[in-house]
Structure 1
Amino acid sequence: NGIMHFKTFRCGLHKVLLCFFYGTGLDQNHGGDYAAFENMIERFVSALRVCGVSPYVVMDGGSDPSDRKLETVNKRVTNRIQRAHRAAVSGQQLDILPQLAKLVFKQTLARLEVPLAQCYAEADHEIAALAAEWQCPVLSNDSDFYVFELQGGFLPISLFRWEEVKQTGSHQYIPCKRYNTSSFCIFFNIQPQLLPAFAALAGNDYVDLRKTDSTRKWAQVASDLEGLLHWLKGFQQPQDAFEAAVGMMGDMNQKKKGELLQGLFVGMEDYKIHPSSLKKFFIHGIAPPFIPGKEVREALSGFAKLSPNILDVLVLGRMSLSTTVDHKDKPSAVLVSRPIRQVMYALLLGIRCPRGVEERDRVGLELKVTSVQPAFRGCLQVLLETLGVPQDCLGRLPSDLRLQVAATCYWLKKATPPPDLRVLKALLLCTELSLVCFVAAAQNQHYNHKLDMDVSHSLNQWQACLKDSLRLNQLLGRPLPEPQTSRLYEGTIVHHIIWRMKSGLKLKKLDPPSVRRYRSLLAATRRFSIPEPATPSDTQQKATASPQQQKQQQPLTDLTTSLKQLFLLYDDDDEEVETEAHSGIRGERDALLDDLVSVRTRYKTKERNKHCNSTELVHKQCKGIL
């Protein structure tokens, strides 16, 4: 329909926005460029609003309880596993969504106050119903929306030029293409009621005639979609077309013919629009009903607070796990956080679960299903007990760091093989420093280093621990504040920091408060799990040292003591306590950091917190960090 001038109206946004945005120029192979992803979402929403568009986002929930799509889903997961390995080996971008992308997407939309609903099952029907009632268009790339009859039309994302906002008179608009089923039917000269039949005949989750065709007649008719449309011109009603198609299948008994016809009719019903169950939620905040009960219903409903995987655990006893860019010879990165998930299963299902929960994960390049038993120790402090962090140690830690630090502690104790100290250093740097600074400083740099498989695997494990810690925290009602995920990790930057460390290069121009906090975090966390990489001279000294000296050189493993020390070090307001805590480790701490960071300037804390809102100031302050 050419260029569409947007005016004030609602726009339904499909869940594929998430994958579409992340596949548009963002790095996928280093674990996620979350700050850049957040920035892209912000710019997209701003472009809509400046044109008077009110976006409403609807996302998928759990899997179809009927499992009619299970075979298709398994094939897609296996394909994704294979693509992830190829991406790790070749460096190609092969559309592997980073582990925390969905959470960043949800958090950013919530912060921008964009209405967001998460369905109990697939979102397509709810989006179509909502769009039909509001007479607004749907923005997506899902081919199903070429079939739904929507008065407001369908806007393919690939033809939606949101970064090219135009102006005519006093109005701004987004150039795009709008599709209508009526125009499609006129162009191909078929009856509108045959469009759902066309979709069913082309292949659906209930029946695929191509697998049943023994005479190859149907294969000739439906060799391509345009040929199928040409064949449908000769029919007025779906039933006539279905009976003619089944008649081409060769000799079969009446029962088999009836099953095929029923499958085609059921497939066609998928495109029938029913009343929306989300309209009341968006307008009045009333969640649609759900079987497990009020508490679970409210947690899982339109606010999209919990992962859709929780629904699969409740309804199907199944958990589909993330696929990470990793080498096939490495064990799955999500194995490290299985004990966290076992506590989640116990909370959801109870300890006595005869079959356990089916975890769908990879072994090598194959999809494998493993039964995992719930495990719950019954303590009141479920989250901290699971992560191994004492409650009294979190009091002095800033609220936005508590969950992340606890998850990092868990990772340091459980990861196999143990993480390299340089990986921890890089993660702590990105925790302490503004990632916007890193991105601004790195905009004109290209990091084309070959992916370090060991580093990538270790960081994948850290993200798995953080992701499942966030899920458990959500399930428990957020006893710890949920951190802004986009500020915790920026994949290409973390990998580049580690590369610079290994190359003996330095990072420059960190403000003194950042350096102090970074030193404190590093000195405390490394004491209970990670030794410095050994050098030849270190190895010689260790070999000649006395047993008592060797004992003193071993890293401390008392997590309680280490965390208490960390929180004391963080409190800048208590100079006396800070000085006392520093005295025992100042020498070690300074030695660890001096080879990495040189301090050349000082910024006030308020200026450091404000500078991320100004691109010009960010570039000025962050130039030369990397």
Structure 2
Amino acid sequence: MGIHGLMSYVGEHKQFFTDIQLRNTKIIIDGNNLFHRLYFESNLDLQHGGDYDSFTDIVHKFFETLSVCKIYPYVVLDGGCDLLDKKFATLKERAWDKIQVAYSISRGGGGSVLPLLTREVFKQALTKLEVPFVQCFSEADRDITSLANHWNCPVLTLDSDFCIFDLKAGYCPLNYFQWRNLCTCEGTLDCYIPARCFSLERLCSHFSHMNKALLPLFAVMNGNDYINLPALETFFSKVRLPVGGCGWRGRKHVRIQGLLNWLSRFADPTEAIDNVLKYLKKHEREEIRELLCTSMEEYEQSDVNLEDFFQNGNFDSQVTRKLALPQWMLEALAKGHLSPFISDALLLRRTILHVQVENMQRPSAHTVALPIRQVIYGLLLNASQNSEVTSPSEQSNNVDGLLQQNKARPLHSVSKIMTFWQVPRSDRLKLLLETLGVKASILQPIPSPLWLPVAVTCYWTHYSEPRVKLHCLQALLLGMVFGELHRTTSSSDKMIYDQFLKWKEKNFQKLLDLDTAHTFCQWQCCLQMGLHLNQLLSTPLPEPDLTRLYCGTLVHRLCKELKSAHGAENLLLSSPKMSQLYCDLLHAVKSTVPPDFFQETTKTKSCKEKNKNTGLKVQDCSGPEENVQNSQLAMETKGRN
């Protein structure tokens, strides 16, 4: 959620906080807030689609610092949209804002738009670090509050709603959490993180010891993500709010200070609401009373027992009991094995496709992945208990950055997903590969963690508009090799890895190559939906390691260098293993398109030719089709030739 202007207001009042040395404690972390802040505050690239490897390193450093201080984190992630759609207007407004920001970034301007796969990368990093996390079924604030109070430990977030929740151990805002400034306790070797903890009692004491039960009413009246009542503007236009004191500035802060002063006069919310209604028209009063009381319930603790989930893996609530979903799906959603995209499409018949820094003059980059989404929708519509189902609508950006809603026609309707889940893996694999348009045989020479990315790359090469250029494909595949180099220990591979790092760290011109950016945005959209479909089918292909799969700055740099190079430099020759990997990747993708697809105009050099040039070039590897008689992917499917 979020209360308009409250975080900046309380930030101007140091008396609302206590300085603490955080160590030897559990802490509940708002996962969505954390991955946004870690990405944006770390000066990571925002133009080129995400430096997921650098982001992963930062996530590792963050949780390693907590471990040194014996801080035991439990991460709680938001799930899908609220089932009652109370926040939809806010979500549409934010989507529009992000389109404008993405457009600004694409033109060299400022702003922050999170790269498309950041959330999935974050979850994979948590899994590798063995940091426990849960994915809730909608907004996680109330669930976080319940767990924090049950364990009597602080909450780490930057959500102003936690200035309203009654937290026993307080709320530590992320902007005051100095995890990069590790300190040692005097006279001991114990480490701690300097932080500030917001005190609800101090806030209420400042306003004449106001009843803290009035704060949810304040939040609703001031305006949050769930409610914005025009009728309340009548109240604000008529009432004279006692601002008083100092330390405020700006219109929002005047209203906040005045409203808190005014509410502090009353003993409880009932009395305060009665006095609010006096300023409204008689025929509006009872409706507004009901809306205010209902909205205040958002600040009550939830019935979800997250302790039971973290200890026993059980996620149970009144909401989930009403959903009539199969148990495997509920568990997969809670464990983060399925994306909130899935629950939104299934339960709300609507999805919001997140904007990227792309060419806004072209149709949304998400358009290329529509056939994959149609298969997902086809599966999900048959999972519903409701016989009168409708196709999901999609919110995305189109030409000129306008927010657009489209109906997506589902494909591949099958029997209800409850029984479909019991279908043999070979059939689920067949459906996945048919959707991506590849044969299992072409994947055999490739390491299994790259099977899904390569299958998605084949799909992207076939459907991308405008057509994928050879140097873009080469750059993307070299980026995958770069990810594999990170795992090797040989000295020759280390030299190649360091060379890639130099390319990655080269400065870019401020103006983005929009067509190249759009091409790689399309690839990420395809990968995202390929991941979702693979997860929905219970991973017939192994889940790829996203943390090292795509590095936007490197791939864009390689793309630029390969475009201007005149020959084929064997960058990987000192590592036969990595050179072969690159050849296998390129051959797999090129085998799914016609021979003249890339319309190559320059004669390339063989894999064995030594490097004689100074520009960055890569070999065009080709060779006979691999023998696949012993393939682990024995199920061949009808694909493109």
Q: Which amino acid aligns with 2:395?
A: R
| Range with bigger deviation, 121-130 or 286-295 | 286-295
Q: Which amino acid aligns with 1:447?
A: F
Coordinate RMSD, CA, aligned: 2.7
Deviations along 1:84-128, one digit per CA (max 9) or x if unpaired, are: 111111243x22111111110000001100001000111011001
Deviation at 1:341, TM superposition (A): 1.0
User: Which residue, out of 421, 433, 437, partners 1:388?
Assistant: 437
Deviation at 1:491, TM superposition (A): 0.6
Deviation at 1:594, TM superposition (A): 7.8
1:170 and 2:231 matched: no
Deviation at 1:501, TM superposition (A): 2.2
Deviation at 1:317, TM superposition (A): 1.1
On the 8 A contact 2:332/2:338 being kept in 1, the answer is yes
User: Which residue, out of 25, 33, 58, partners 1:16?
Assistant: 33
User: Which residue, out of 161, 171, 189, partners 1:144?
Assistant: 161
User: Which residue, out of 457, 467, 482, partners 2:518?
Assistant: 457
Deviation at 1:82, TM superposition (A): 1.5
> Which residue of structure 2 lines up, in the alignment, with residue 268 of structure 1?
296
Deviations along 1:298-333, one digit per CA (max 9) or x if unpaired, are: 2212x1111111111111111111211123211100
| Range with bigger deviation, 342-351 or 29-38 | 342-351
1:404 and 2:450 matched: no
Q: Which amino acid aligns with 1:158?
A: N
Are residues 213 and 475 of structure 1, via their aligned partners in 2, closer, same or farther at CA, if it must alter by over 3 Å? Answer: same
1:185 and 2:220 matched: no
Q: Equivalent residues in 2 for 1:15-94 (5 A)?
A: 15-24=32-41, 25-92=43-110, 94=111
1:297 and 2:330 matched: yes
SS at match of 2:86: coil
> Which residue of structure 2 lines up, in the alignment, with residue 472 of structure 1?
533
Deviations along 1:563-585, one digit per CA (max 9) or x if unpaired, are: xxxxxxxxxxxxxxxxxxxxxxx
Are residues 262 and 503 of structure 1, via their aligned partners in 2, closer, same or farther at CA, if it must alter by over 3 Å? Answer: same
1:517 and 2:581 matched: yes
1:232 and 2:263 matched: yes
> Which residue of structure 1 lines up, in the alignment, with residue 546 of structure 2?
485
Q: How many residues align?
A: 546
SS at match of 1:428: helix
Deviation at 1:337, TM superposition (A): 0.7
Deviation at 1:475, TM superposition (A): 0.6
Q: For residues 398 and 388 of structure 2, what CA distance do their matches in structure 1 show?
A: 25
Q: For residues 206 and 18 of structure 1, what CA distance do their matches in structure 2 show?
A: 23
On the 8 A contact 1:509/1:598 being kept in 2, the answer is no
On the 8 A contact 1:312/1:318 being kept in 2, the answer is yes
Deviation at 1:204, TM superposition (A): 3.8
On the 8 A contact 1:320/1:361 being kept in 2, the answer is yes
1:158 and 2:175 matched: yes
Q: For residues 504 and 69 of structure 2, what CA distance do their matches in structure 1 show?
A: 28
> Which residue of structure 1 lines up, in the alignment, with residue 494 of structure 2?
none
Are residues 17 and 218 of structure 1, via their aligned partners in 2, closer, same or farther at CA, if it must alter by over 3 Å? Answer: farther
Deviation at 1:79, TM superposition (A): 1.1
Deviation at 1:264, TM superposition (A): 1.2
On the 8 A contact 2:178/2:195 being kept in 1, the answer is yes
Deviation at 1:368, TM superposition (A): 1.5
> Which residue of structure 2 lines up, in the alignment, with residue 422 of structure 1?
471
SS at match of 1:3: strand
Deviation at 1:522, TM superposition (A): 2.5
On the 8 A contact 2:102/2:357 being kept in 1, the answer is yes
Using the aligned pairs only, state the percent identity.
Answer: 35
User: Which residue, out of 360, 366, 370, partners 1:338?
Assistant: 370
1:283 and 2:283 matched: no
> Which residue of structure 2 lines up, in the alignment, with residue 198 of structure 1?
218
Q: Equivalent residues in 2 for 1:76-115 (5 A)?
A: 76-92=94-110, 94-115=111-132
Q: Which amino acid aligns with 1:398?
A: P
SS at match of 1:389: coil
Deviations along 1:169-197, one digit per CA (max 9) or x if unpaired, are: 22100011111211111123222222222
Q: For residues 35 and 138 of structure 2, what CA distance do their matches in structure 1 show?
A: 17
Q: Which amino acid aligns with 1:194?
A: L
* TM-score, scaled relative to structure 1: 0.82
On the 8 A contact 1:218/1:245 being kept in 2, the answer is no
Deviation at 1:213, TM superposition (A): 3.1
On the 8 A contact 2:432/2:534 being kept in 1, the answer is yes
On the 8 A contact 2:446/2:584 being kept in 1, the answer is no
Q: For residues 404 and 392 of structure 1, what CA distance do their matches in structure 2 show?
A: 15
Deviation at 1:22, TM superposition (A): 1.2
Q: For residues 376 and 395 of structure 1, what CA distance do their matches in structure 2 show?
A: 26
On the 8 A contact 1:206/1:266 being kept in 2, the answer is no
On the 8 A contact 1:27/1:492 being kept in 2, the answer is yes
Deviations along 1:231-288, one digit per CA (max 9) or x if unpaired, are: 1222111122222222223xx233x111111111122221122444222101111122
Deviations along 1:33-81, one digit per CA (max 9) or x if unpaired, are: 0000000000000011100001000011111111111111111111111
Deviation at 1:445, TM superposition (A): 3.9
> Which residue of structure 2 lines up, in the alignment, with residue 318 of structure 1?
350
Q: Which amino acid aligns with 2:107?
A: V
